[in-house]
């Protein structure tokens, strides 16, 4: 990942929209050591990929940003301001010559609860960055291990303070799970609940094909509603799709599995807990064609 550009946002509401977006050098610091986003992971974020100079699925990302903020009792984001800043960042990140061979641009936008010691309100920024083109991994597939997230399936209802289903900045657990996957010789993770319900990846949504249907776990289990999975389901009209509960054994029964995310699209699973899995290259390519072509 390589930073391309950065906008600091004034979220006080004091300035008009145009005056609230400040381009800054992405190498310069814009956040204080006393910011709750830094100190406690107390904030929300989204990442949208840029195609043709525009952020894909922007409205869905903005809606999920608002949902995460509401789950964390943060002030509601000023949607128009965030939309304008992300659109501008996507256009700027697409300036010819900025990206190197094999890179694609993405936009990450972040809102923290703000400074712990002064009540100035949330801190916000929009970062344009270059990541690697996912074409190769979409072909090769990934090795995945199943890890226990340690919560029950009903944790969102019983313990909303655990913030399952919010895209919060607190990703240290997700990062640790990816390191555990690497220790086990794998590339990625599918989380299951302590009582055996399939959830999601640390940075992705799971789709399983079972009995001719494409199935993904419901948000009520405490997973993020995936924008990529939603658009894949909307675009593949000749295969039945369903949001439904999957149990751990269903992963063995599935004849194809994918992990979906904005920056990589639909990536097929080629190995699950050490066992080889078949990749449906044709359907993977069709899903990614749909995803690459999507707009706001
Ligand atoms: N689940 C988690 C925990 C994620 O972090 C992400 C994306 O980063 C996703 C699912 C996939 O979401 P999307 O397809 O909207 O990128």
Q: 187-196 b/e with 16+ CB inside 10 Å = b?
A: bbbbbbbeee
In whole angstroms, give the CA distance from residue 217 to residue 220: 9
Within 13 Å, how many C-alpha atoms sit on residue 218's CB side? Answer: 9
How close is the Cα of 219 to the center of ligand 1, in Å?
A: 12
Contact 115, 122 (CB under 8 A): no
Smallest CA separation from ligand 1 atom 12, residue: 226
Q: Are residues 287 and 145 in the same domain?
A: yes
Q: Give me the CATH number covering residue 69.
A: 3.30.470.10
pLDDT digits (tens, 9 = 90+) for 258-293: 999 999 999 999 999 999 999 999 999 999 999 999
| pTM for this model (two decimals) | 0.96
pLDDT digits (tens, 9 = 90+) for 230-252: 999 999 999 999 999 999 999 99
How buried is residue 7: exposed, middle or buried, by Cβ count under 10 Å (0-12/13-18/19+)?
Answer: buried
Structurally, the chain folds into a number of domains equal to: 2
pLDDT digits (tens, 9 = 90+) for 36-80: 999 999 999 999 999 999 999 999 999 999 999 999 999 999 999
Q: How confident is the model at residue 1 (pLDDT cuts 50, 70, 90)?
A: confident
Does ligand 1 come within 6 angstroms of the Cβ of 4?
no
Contact 133, 177 (CB under 8 A): no
Q: Are residues 95 and 6 in the same domain?
A: yes
Question: Terminal CA-to-CA distance of the chain, rounded, Å?
Answer: 24
Pairing between β-strand 213-216 and β-strand 241-243 as defined by DSSP bridges: parallel
Smallest CA separation from ligand 1 atom 5, residue: 203
Q: Are residues 189 and 252 in the same domain?
A: yes
**Of 80, 113, 133, which closes a domain?**
133
Q: Are residues 142 and 288 in the same domain?
A: yes
Q: Are residues 125 and 147 in the same domain?
A: no
**Of 77, 103, 133, which closes a domain?**
133
Smallest CA separation from ligand 1 atom 10, residue: 204
Q: Are residues 149 and 238 in the same domain?
A: yes
**Of 85, 117, 133, which closes a domain?**
133
Domain enclosing residue 10, as ranges: 2-133
Contact 69, 77 (CB under 8 A): yes
Q: Give the 3-state secondary structure of residue 248.
A: helix
């Amino acid at each position: 990942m390589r930073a391309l550009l950065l906008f600091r946002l004034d979220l006080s509401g004091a300035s008009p929209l145009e005056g609230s977006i400040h381009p800054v050098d992405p190498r310069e610091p814009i956040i204080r050591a006393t910011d709750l986003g830094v100190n406690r992971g107390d904030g929300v974020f989204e990442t949208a990929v840029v195609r043709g100079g525009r952020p894909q699925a922007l409205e869905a990302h903005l809606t999920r940003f608002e949902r995460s903020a509401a789950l964390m009792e943060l002030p509601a984001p000023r949607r128009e301001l965030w939309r304008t800043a992300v659109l501008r960042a996507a256009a700027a990140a697409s300036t010819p010559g900025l990206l190197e061979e094999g890179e694609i641009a993405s936009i990450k936008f972040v809102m923290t609860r703000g400074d712990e010691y002064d009540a100035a309100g949330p801190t916000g920024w929009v970062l344009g960055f270059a990541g690697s083109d996912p074409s190769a991994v979409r072909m090769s597939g990934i090795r995945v291990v199943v890890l226990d997230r340690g919560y029950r399936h009903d944790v969102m209802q019983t313990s909303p303070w655990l913030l399952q289903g919010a895209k919060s900045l607190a990703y240290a657990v997700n990062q640790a799970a990816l390191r555990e996957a690497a220790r086990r010789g794998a590339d990625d993770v599918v989380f299951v609940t302590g009582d055996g319900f399939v959830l999601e990846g640390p940075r992705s949504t799971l789709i399983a094909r079972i009995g001719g249907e494409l199935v993904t776990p419901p948000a009520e289990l405490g997973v993020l509603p995936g924008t990529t999975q939603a658009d894949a389901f909307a675009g593949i009209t000749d295969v039945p799709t369903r949001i439904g509960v999957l149990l751990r054994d269903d992963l063995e029964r599935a004849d194809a599995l994918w992990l979906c995310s904005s920056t990589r699209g639909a990536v097929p699973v080629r190995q699950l807990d050490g066992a080889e899995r078949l990749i449906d290259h044709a359907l993977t390519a069709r899903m990614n064609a749909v995803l690459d072509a999507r707009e706001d």
